[in-house]
Structure 1
Amino acid sequence: MKKTLRAALAMLAGSMLLLSACQEKPKEKKLEKVRVAEVTRSIFYTPEYVALAKGFFKEEGLDVNLTTTWGGDKTMTALLSGGADIALVGSETSIYVHAQGSNDPVINFAQLTQTDGTFLVSREKIDNFSWDLLKGKTFLGQRKGGMPQMAGEFVLKKHGIEPHKDLKLIQNIDFANIANAFAGGTGEFVQLFEPTASIFEKEGKGHIVASFGTESGHLPYTTFMAKESYMKKNPATIEKFTKALYKAQQWVAKTDSKDIAKAIEPYFEDTDPGIIETVVERYKSQGSFATDPILDEDEWNNLQDIMDEAGELPQRIGHKTLVNTDIAEKVK
């Protein structure tokens, strides 16, 4: 009796194993690949890295492949040539493309940063800084036609400084080499992004004396954009992408700088964690990170005012022509 029972149980167990083996495993949801080209790698773009690190893109069914293209021209070339689906770059680039008569305009659909991201760094420590101290000095600025340079000149003029008359202005150094040039002894003042500005301050190579971001006001400094044809063909993809970004923006807004810095550390392996936290806090405190992806008309007009002031605005473009807020508003 016992032998018969054991045999029956063994057969039942075997049948269950066989049945289990025959059953198909549930298929994992296939993620949609999206190629994103970012203009540079910067803590200024923190919400983007949070969306990747916290898995917000994957939650929306997207596999985002991020490439750093190092420069506005290269980023836009990647987008226009089909080398990228979405670009993270200054909104002014979409205006430049439109002015050249593109049949497939580049549309801004989600804002990432809403202030300038550069800081004024002095070679010497200044206890009581005032902008007129720059007059007659050698100023190492950013590339002509780029948003950092235009915002920088806007702020200087706001403080009564004519950049091309009152300063010894240097603008012919490549973006990637500006910091090295200053460290090598060129210029008494320099306009730098983070974390370079904070690193220089920590190493005693310079001292942060002012923020161009707080001085220039709100503007769509860096936005996610795509060709109109891509957006029409992939509306669900754009919506999912924007939704994931909004989750990240809200997470950043509600989280302290230390935890934010820890989340994005993998994207800045060569940067001291303490510096990352300092930079995140600096950008967060001055409101550089947009808290939602909506690029409103006031910001768009401020951008064009700054471009116009710098003599770089080819033509004034209506907000609705190159900006799509429908998706961002739906997501919010």
Structure 2
Amino acid sequence: MKKWSQFATLGILTAALTLTACSPNKDSSNEALQTVRVSEVIRSIFYAPQYVAIEKGYFKEEGLDIQLDTAWGGDKAMTRLLADQADIALIGAETTVYVQQQGATDPVVNFAQVTQRDGSFVIARTKIDKWDWSMLKGKSLIGSRKGSMPEMVSEYVQKKNGLQPFTDVNIIQNISFDNQATAFSSGTGDFLQAFEPSGAILEKAGQGHVVAAFGEDSGKLPYTVYMTKSSTIKSAPATIQKFTNAVQKAQNFVHASQPELVAAVIAPYFEGVAPEILTAVVKRYQATDGWAKDPLIDQEEFDNMKAIMKDAGELKADVKYEELVNTTFAKKAKAK
């Protein structure tokens, strides 16, 4: 687990943060758009609603101009948020727990959910028509780093199905995220835990087969959410509301549209990924209920996340839902 206490201290010094040009825009067509800096943990098709909101102009309809930055790591995205290099971050809600455990005086608060299940899949070397988690026993699985939500979910699902991680299953954790699919295609590991489009690409190349979704067995949780500092919510609530309204519009689009249409909208963010791959991934995430239908983070999902963290030994002390989740903006956006 990365330590962010030094940045939490820095956050105190910048508690009066206001978003760039954060005065409410009564008429966004006649006034300059308000800039909001967003740091996403990685670039992923799993975050399709975000790219839809940008490309379909939903943020601009709310008077917002999004400056999107890809941090390539949850710790990096959180660091940018705490250091006032971003106004909003898109990361797993577990990171707000880590910050809270470090004694932050300006807590990072989750306010809008994007994904509601783990988005990783089990990739096998051969096609398996009837998957059973016991098939992992005695095998090696390329997994994720300790303390990351993908790894915690993987171990949680294994235990739920009678397996003991690292005893029954050899979890390989010394391969960087961006090299895992290449390592698997080169012969490392019996199975791979991967996010899309790795699964679809491996299938097309005949080097792997998607056989199971971790998210279907782990249950719903606030897997990827928008978050900001408590001080920002206090200083710019109108901005956060506008942002959440745009997220809801994008979620409506993603759930109401055919995979081909969603894929076409997000294509500019995934240069080099074939249209058929994008379409297959969108279809898979729609089928596995990965995308939240609204931005609301409910307590049952949050409690499930805490249970998974506790099982992994990463929850040092209990944290209150009310302290780390603000549902005000999501409720208003959902009701529009």
TM-score (ref. length: structure 1): 0.90
State the AA in 1 paired with 2:33: L
Q: Distance in 2 between matches of 1:179 and 1:315?
A: 35
Out of 61, 64, 70, the position equivalent to 2:63 is 61
Q: 2:15 — aligned with what?
A: none
Secondary structure at the aligned position of 1:163 is classed as coil
Q: 1:16 — aligned with what?
A: none
Q: 2:103 — aligned with what?
A: 101
Q: 2:206 — aligned with what?
A: 204
Q: 1:146 — aligned with what?
A: 148
Shift of 1:181: 1.9
Q: 1:326 — aligned with what?
A: 328
Identity %: 53
Q: 1:237 — aligned with what?
A: 239
Q: Distance in 2 between matches of 1:59 and 1:88?
A: 21
Q: 1:118 — aligned with what?
A: 120
Write the deviation string for residues 270-322 of structure 1: whole angstroms up to 9, x where unpaired. Answer: 10111111110110111111110000000000000111111111222111010
Out of 212, 234, 256, the position equivalent to 2:258 is 256
Structure 1 unpaired stretches of 5+: 1-26
Q: Distance in 2 between matches of 1:257 and 1:139?
A: 30
Shift of 1:330: 1.5
Q: 2:90 — aligned with what?
A: 88
Q: Does 2:78 correspond to 1:76?
A: yes
Q: Distance in 2 between matches of 1:287 and 1:275?
A: 19
Q: 1:157 — aligned with what?
A: 159
Write the deviation string for residues 218-272 of structure 1: whole angstroms up to 9, x where unpaired. Answer: 1000000001111111111100000000011111111111111111111111101
Out of 146, 169, 172, the position equivalent to 1:167 is 169
Q: Distance in 2 between matches of 1:191 and 1:324?
A: 32
Please provide the CA RMSD for this pair: 1.1
Q: Distance in 2 between matches of 1:196 and 1:53?
A: 24
Shift of 1:107: 0.2
Q: 1:22 — aligned with what?
A: none
Write the deviation string for residues 75-95 of structure 1: whole angstroms up to 9, x where unpaired. Answer: 111101011000000000000
Shift of 1:128: 3.5
Q: Does 2:233 correspond to 1:228?
A: no
Secondary structure at the aligned position of 1:143 is classed as coil
Shift of 1:183: 2.1
Q: Distance in 1 between matches of 2:130 and 2:283?
A: 23
Q: Map residues 117-136 of structure 1 onto 2, 5 A cutoff.
A: 117-136=119-138
Q: Distance in 1 between matches of 2:62 and 2:129?
A: 49
Please state which structure has a larger fraction of its residues in helix.
1
State the AA in 2 paired with 1:306: I
Shift of 1:134: 1.1
Secondary structure at the aligned position of 1:164 is classed as coil
Q: Distance in 1 between matches of 2:264 and 2:255?
A: 15
Q: Does 2:183 correspond to 1:181?
A: yes
Q: Map residues 17-36 of structure 1 onto 2, 5 A cutoff.
A: 28-36=30-38
State the AA in 1 paired with 2:163: I
Q: Distance in 1 between matches of 2:324 and 2:45?
A: 26
Q: 1:6 — aligned with what?
A: none
Q: Distance in 2 between matches of 1:270 and 1:287?
A: 26
Q: Distance in 1 between matches of 2:134 and 2:33?
A: 54
Shift of 1:173: 2.1
Q: Distance in 2 between matches of 1:175 and 1:95?
A: 23
Q: Distance in 2 between matches of 1:42 and 1:104?
A: 29
Secondary structure at the aligned position of 2:47 is classed as helix
Q: 1:19 — aligned with what?
A: none
Q: Distance in 2 between matches of 1:128 and 1:48?
A: 34
TM-score (ref. length: structure 2): 0.89
Write the deviation string for residues 197-223 of structure 1: whole angstroms up to 9, x where unpaired. Answer: 110111111111111011111100000
Secondary structure at the aligned position of 1:248 is classed as helix
Please, which moves more after superposition, 296-305 or 249-258? 249-258
Q: 2:8 — aligned with what?
A: none
Q: Does 2:192 correspond to 1:190?
A: yes
Q: Distance in 1 between matches of 2:67 and 2:267?
A: 18
State the AA in 2 paired with 1:200: L
Structure 2 unpaired stretches of 5+: 1-28
Q: Distance in 2 between matches of 1:176 and 1:321?
A: 34
Write the deviation string for residues 134-167 of structure 1: whole angstroms up to 9, x where unpaired. Answer: 1111111111101100111111111111112101
Number of matched residues? 306
